[in-house]
Chain A
């Protein structure tokens, strides 16, 4: 595993899109997870924002976030479909490989897994001509799907190559998920992994999870669950996950800190994470640090 598989998420950072791109690159990141607000909030519009992203040279990890999409009917369902289509178009504009979809929290949404699967299959089909995949994540306070297993049931039922799963370590830790929850899932169906920790031991209620998740996440290595998080990262490597890791750290303090301070903490977390993966991958990381191409060639 190489440092290039780790990226930072713009929602963690303060300032303009241009400043976020610049600081992330300066800290050594080669990829960045974008939010729709990065584009829609750009003073010169979506096209200018997309041009800025392309000019940065940073690879786009993915695009977030479509909320409360599945399980709706009638005008509300049609409205959400229209929003989802605009999200897909924005994701395509920046060359994002994924649109992130979070499990619904809406009281208007049905919990019927077949209906949710059909809705996500439709979205994943819409994403095909745009060259985008749909990555589905169970929020730990999701109304019907709040565990990885719940999300997987919906993705598995949809049986759609363009639809896969997201694992977010926050929700994993918040729900005290079992280490074997990915057993039986093909590694290629895990599209994406988001990493973060938090500062207290447990978040038993949905309200506590939501509040913590939106305001007080921290980077891996900074929180109260470092050991479990290390186990998760090792488990994902052993599981055969080949995709990217992005730090999705909603944190009110980081959102008012200088960019360089936060991106440097993020980069420290990259190294913390890499120090917890198996030996063979560690050698690769060291090789990259020392810029010794011969060592890299040996182990990649």
Chain B
């Protein structure tokens, strides 16, 4: 590998937001609110809502013109984009394009921010956002909902822990190299995992604030046609059991999987799929990735 794999060529600082593209915005909104997110703003020109919890921003894009939505079956939800917070979006974009990323056509309208993006797995896109803090991208493109605070507390310090990507059989190494050479991710040692889904390859972001997990489809020989896609958000929490209990009390359903670490501490949990494709994995965050 080139030396870039140990550096941070795009000056990535973390995940700015995750965007769901959906034909079920109401059902997805209910799921997110049950998972502790609060709707705080609406896009100026499109059917897009911004949800927030602590430092996590989730964008729900129900615009009929959104990529994927135009041809999607009713009742579908996909992770359409991950926005990476970078120091300089134009520089990050230029670096990525120069090294083999695909440009994505700009969606911005008049007076809206042009957030540069490159193609990700499946139908997804990877944005580069460099406006955050006091004057963020949301201040330009979104209108705040009335009587809603911008700062939404996260009860157990929930933060983005990572993204889980499905790679079709035999393609994990190619994607691993993709994220290493273009984004500066590093592969963590084999056998080191977090949460309860201990498989595939786990890549660490060059900023050290989140992970990117590459997994192959479950099982072989079945009749399911698996497509490459971003399939789950990982949410880190300092107390998986407490976060799970709080979400369950509000109606989130979890899969019957889980494991415990030494001392009986719950390491992770995975929600059932909601709104035709939304799934969140809770991961015990002991400060490893953060």
Q: Interface residues, chain A, CB within 8 Å of chain B?
A: 85, 121-126, 128-129, 131, 133, 159-162
A131 CA / B99 CA spacing, docked (Å):
17
Q: Is the CB of A126 within 8 A of B177?
A: no
A132 CA / B182 CA spacing, docked (Å):
17
Given contacts A129-B120, A159-B1, contact A123 B100 (CB under 8 A): yes
- With an 8 A cutoff between CB atoms, is B171 at the interface? yes
Residues on the A chain within 8 Å of B102, using CB: 85, 126, 129
Given contacts A121-B181, A125-B182, A161-B173, contact A131 B228 (CB under 8 A): yes
Interface centre among A121, A124, A161, by most B CB within 10 Å?
A161
Q: Report A19 CB to chain B, min CB distance, Å.
A: 29
Q: Is the CB of B174 within 8 A of A162?
A: yes
Residues on the B chain within 8 Å of A161, using CB: 173-174, 176-177
Q: Interface extent on B, as a size class? A: 10 to 19
Closest Cβ neighbor of B182 among chain A residues: A125
A162 CA / B168 CA spacing, docked (Å):
14
Q: Is the CB of B119 within 8 A of A160?
A: no
Q: Report A189 CB to chain B, min CB distance, Å.
A: 12
The 5 closest A-B pairs by CB, nearest first: A125-B100, A161-B173, A122-B100, A162-B174, A128-B178
- With an 8 A cutoff between CB atoms, is B175 at the interface? yes
In the complex, 19 of the A-B residue pairs with CB atoms within 8 angstroms, ordered by the A residue number, are A121-B181, A122-B100, A123-B100, A124-B100, A125-B99, A125-B100, A125-B101, A125-B177, A125-B182, A126-B100, A126-B101, A128-B100, A160-B177, A160-B181, A161-B173, A161-B174, A162-B174, A162-B177, A162-B178
Given contacts A131-B168, A131-B171, A159-B1, contact A125 B178 (CB under 8 A): yes
Residues on the A chain within 8 Å of B101, using CB: 125-126
A129 CA / B120 CA spacing, docked (Å):
6
A275 CA / B195 CA spacing, docked (Å):
53
A159 CA / B101 CA spacing, docked (Å):
18
Beyond A121-B100, A129-B120, 15 additional pairs, beta carbon < 8 A: A85-B102, A121-B181, A122-B99, A123-B100, A124-B100, A125-B101, A125-B178, A126-B102, A128-B171, A128-B177, A129-B102, A129-B178, A131-B168, A161-B173, A162-B174
